[in-house]
Amino acid sequence: MHAIDVVEIVGAVTILVAFAAAQAGKLQQRTITYQLLNLLGSGALATIAAMQLSWGFLLLEGSWAVISLLGLRSLLRRKQPN
C-alpha cells in the first residue's frame, strides 16, 4: 500500500465518520466538528483527484470541500463577538 492510498482511505473514513455520526443523531450537521471533518476528508480526496486528473471525482470532492469551508466559515463568524 502506498502513502497516497493511506491518505485516500483516511479522507474517505473521515467523511464517513461525520456522516454516520450525523445519521445516528450523535453529531449535528451545523457544527464546527462536522464541517471540519468534511472539509479535511474532502480536501484530501480532492487533492488526490487533482493529482490523478480524475475530473469527475475532483468536481465532487472539490465542491464538497468548498461547501464545507463555507459552512465552517459561517459557523466561525457566528461565534465571533461583534
pLDDT in tens, 11-55: 999 999 999 999 999 999 999 999 999 999 999 999 999 999 999
**pTM, entire model:** 0.91
Instruction: Please give the average per-residue pLDDT across 71-81, as a whole number.
Output: 89
Alpha carbons 72 and 41: distance in angstroms, whole number: 14
Distance between first and last Cα of the chain: 49
Angle, to 10 degrees, between the axis of helix 3-23 and the axis of helix 32-51?
150
Is residue 35 within 8 A of residue 42, CB to CB? The reply is no
Domain that holds residue 23: 3-79
Query: Total domain count for the chain?
Result: 1
- pLDDT-derived band at 79 (thresholds 50, 70, 90) equals confident
